[in-house]
Chain A
Amino acid sequence: MTYVLQQLLNALQVGSIYALIALGYTMVYGILTMINFAHGDLFMVGAFLCFVAAVTFNLPFVPVLLLSMIGVAFLGVVIERFAYKPLRQAPRVSAIITALGVGLFLENFTLALNPYPKQIPQLLENTTWTFSGLSVSSLQVFVIILSLVLMWILDLIVRRTMVGMAMRAISWDKTVAPLLGVPVNMIISVTFAIGTSLGGAAGVMYALAYPVIDPYMGIMVGWKAFIAAVVGGIGNIRGAMIGGYILGAVEIMVVAFMPSTYRDFIAFVLLLVLLIFRPYGILGKPHPQKV
């Protein structure tokens, strides 16, 4: 029983990180119907910015987190402005390939600057409490709570503010929204900034939890977060959160009860099975084809 609880706690931690990254995918998809495949690499850049801020500038945790989030958000906006915006009218596939190209660029640029994996210093005091056999580390609790807070803020922004209303308007109807005075370009930039800053925050948390970082770490985590977004129903913000936690739970539970090499296999087979029964994800709505 304690074992299961322990694994559930781990699942919550991993799931929080997946959920934060999945949010970036789903927000961009909701507003541009484009899959930003560079998002996983922005997550990686977040982790590296964390390294730079913590080691080169010797900053404490809160400035490190803020710096990573702002840096990644800035990068996200620049990427959108220079790589994706010229392609808004182009075939959708060109935008996807551009995103893959941007991702490769970020990976290899980081690799060129940091040829060796980096070790993140311990930024936070890590104490471990034990409750009748169940060991809880303060880092774990921190990661879970911080992600929940970030997601709550995002939910507030999307549901309660003018910017959020504009985002929802654009994802509802791209042609009518600008006619009603919604500044489309600005809202898209803001969406990118928010989505990628969440990815940056996830990068910092990942770096705290698994302190060895390398430029290719974003690929697998990014694709998995993308899957989480799809499982939840891509374009749906609450769906992405649920999808992230489901994926985290599945992965941790597979590792807990089966050989760890089966992890990806089971996770992806489950994904396929889910897509057969709910082809539009858990919270997604089917789009009927019109002729």
Chain B
Amino acid sequence: MMINTSRIKQFKENLETKRWLLPALLVFVFALSLVIQQFELLDPYVQLIIMYVGINIILTLSLNLINGYMGEFSVGHAGFMAIGAYVASFLTVKVFPTDMAAWLFPLAVIAGGMVAGVVGLVVAFPSFKTRGDYLAIVTLAFGMIVKSVIENIDALGGPRGFLGMEKLSTLPWVFFWVLISVWVIRNLIYSNFGRGVLSIREDEIASDLMSVNTNHVKVLAFTVSSFFAGIAGGLFAHLLQFINPRAFDIIKSTDILIMVYLGGIGSIAGSVIGATVYTVLLEVLRPMGIWRMVFMPLVLVLLMIFRPRGIMGLREFRWFVPVRDMLASRLWREKKAGT
């Protein structure tokens, strides 16, 4: 045991001396994104793709919280995205004064996220009793209800869509929100609450018996997840500058699902990789025209057959895992090797 502890101490010190690396890197990338946006260093098309990647990362992460970490099967995520998009756009176009819109944009995005989060409760309550396929139906129906409600509201343009947003989503903003979502979800997963989320995935009854308040955990997970989906929706609306209900239908939800399972469930790194690979690959293959949409599902099917857990399934980049958890797993491994 003595050897163990001294080794661990050394390991900990090792990590702590490198702690400044990550913040420094993030500050650098943020500065880079500001510079790129200011001086047009990158082709606007490339910038657009990078922003799509960012928005997709937020969406994938938020869905991964429910589908990957909690083990439920939600298929209506585009509904939350739609709510965020419409609320944020309505605020910047109709409510906020036009000359202030750029400054109030973050507020609009947050408001969109909050409304989506509150609506997320609607799905959280049925999840107390129903699981699996039946919860999938509830979320599916929810997504379709959101779409058809929006289609019936004339103030939002109905089926014609809603426009008039300025292009307020910029590279630094998208980067900022990606960072926030990664940070929040990573910290949630490694918190006490996160243990509850994982325990629901493994065995709901057992976790209930171990005095995990499963209803509480579900409500929180659904709220956080839909909040970030709403944020992504707000960013998406102000990037595209035009939204209509059909942009948030079942095909969009399927897209997000594919990114989650491509990257791998229960993994932040997986979500980031999945969203990036999927978005970039679709763009790179654009010269193939419609055949890329034939090719991508084939890749997905092959991936599921030969690697059902996705690219990163249930694994994580080392620097995403908190020191405490890494120490615990290391201690466990050394103990196992010792005996």
> How far is it, in angstroms, between the C-alpha of A269 and the C-alpha of B137 when the chains are bound?
12
Determine whether the beta carbon of B129 is less than 8 Å from that of A289: no
Which residues of the other chain, A, contact B148 by a CB distance below 8 angstroms? 261-265, 268
Q: In the complex, how many angstroms separate the beta carbon of B152 from the nearest chain A beta carbon?
A: 5
Partner of A87 from B142, B296, B305 at Cβ < 8 Å: B305
**CB < 8 Å: which of B141, B265, B298 contacts A227?**
B141
Q: Given contacts A102-B297, A275-B137, are A111 and B290 in contact (CB under 8 A)?
A: yes
Known contacts A94-B261, A275-B137; is-contact A100 B254 (Cβ 8 Å):
yes
Complex contact B304–A291 (CB within 8 A): no
* Chain B nearest Cβ from A142, distance in angstroms: 31
From the candidates A35, A102, A108, name the one contacting B290 in the complex (CB within 8 A): A108
Give the interface SS of chain A, mostly helix, strand, loop or mixed: helix
Q: Taking the nearest CB of chain B, how far is it from the CB of A103, in angstroms?
A: 8
Closest residue to A85 on the B side, CB-wise? Answer: B305
Chain A 258-274, CB within 8 Å of chain B: the 1/0 string? 01011111001101100
Q: A93 at the A/B interface (Cβ < 8 Å)?
A: yes
What is the 8 Å Cβ interface bit string for chain B, positions 26-41, against chain A (1 contact, 0 not)? Answer: 0000000000000000
Collect the chain A residues with CB atoms within 8 Å of residue B73's CB: 93, 96
Q: Tell whether, in the assembled complex, residue A275 and residue B300 are in contact, meaning their CB atoms are under 8 Å apart.
A: no
- B67 nearest CB neighbor, chain A only: A93
A93 surroundings in chain B (CB, below 8 A): 67, 73, 261, 265
Say whether B129 contacts A97, CB under 8 Å.
Answer: no
- When C-beta atoms are compared, the residue in chain B nearest to A216 turns out to be B251
A218-247 residues at the B interface, CB under 8 angstroms: 219-220, 223, 226-227, 230, 234
CB distance from B139 to the nearest CB of A (A): 11
Any chain A CB within 8 A of the CB of B329? no
| Contacting residues, chain B, for A269 (C-beta < 8 A) | 141, 145
- A85 CB to closest chain B CB (Å) equals 9
In whole angstroms, how far apart are the Cα atoms of A275 and B206 in the complex?
A: 25
Given A261-B148, A264-B144, A234:B296 Cβ within 8 A: no
* Residue of chain B at shortest CB distance from A230: B137
Any A CB within 8 A of the CB of B317: no
Asked, given contacts A101-B258, A219-B251, whether A279 binds B297 with beta carbons under 8 Å apart, the answer is: no
Query: Which one, B145, B290, B304, contacts A112 given CB within 8 A?
Result: B290
Q: A94-B261, A97-B257, A227-B141 are in contact. Are A276 and B126 (CB under 8 A)?
A: yes
A104 CB–B CB distance under 8 Å: yes
Q: How far is the CA of A89 from the CA of B25 in the complex (A)?
A: 42
Docked-complex contact A104 and B152, CB < 8 angstroms: no
A91 at the interface (CB under 8 A from B): yes
Nearest Cβ on chain A to B82's Cβ, whole angstroms: 14
Q: Roughly how many angstroms separate A123 CA and B152 CA in the complex, as a whole number?
A: 37
Q: Which residues of A contact B (CB under 8 A)?
A: 29, 35, 83, 86-87, 90-91, 93-98, 100-105, 108-109, 111-112, 115, 219-220, 223, 226-227, 230, 234, 259, 261-265, 268-269, 271-272, 275-276, 279-280, 289, 291
Query: 10 A-B residue contacts at CB 8 Å?
Result: A87-B304, A98-B300, A98-B305, A105-B297, A105-B298, A108-B293, A261-B151, A261-B158, A262-B152, A264-B144
9 pairs of A and B residues whose beta carbons are closest in the complex: A108-B293, A105-B297, A94-B308, A104-B297, A101-B300, A265-B148, A268-B141, A90-B308, A101-B297
Seen from chain B, the residues whose Cβ lies within 8 Å of a Cβ on chain A are 67, 73, 126, 129-130, 133-134, 136-138, 140-142, 144-145, 147-149, 151-152, 158-159, 205-206, 250-251, 254, 257-258, 261, 265, 289-291, 293-294, 296-298, 300-301, 304-305, 308-309
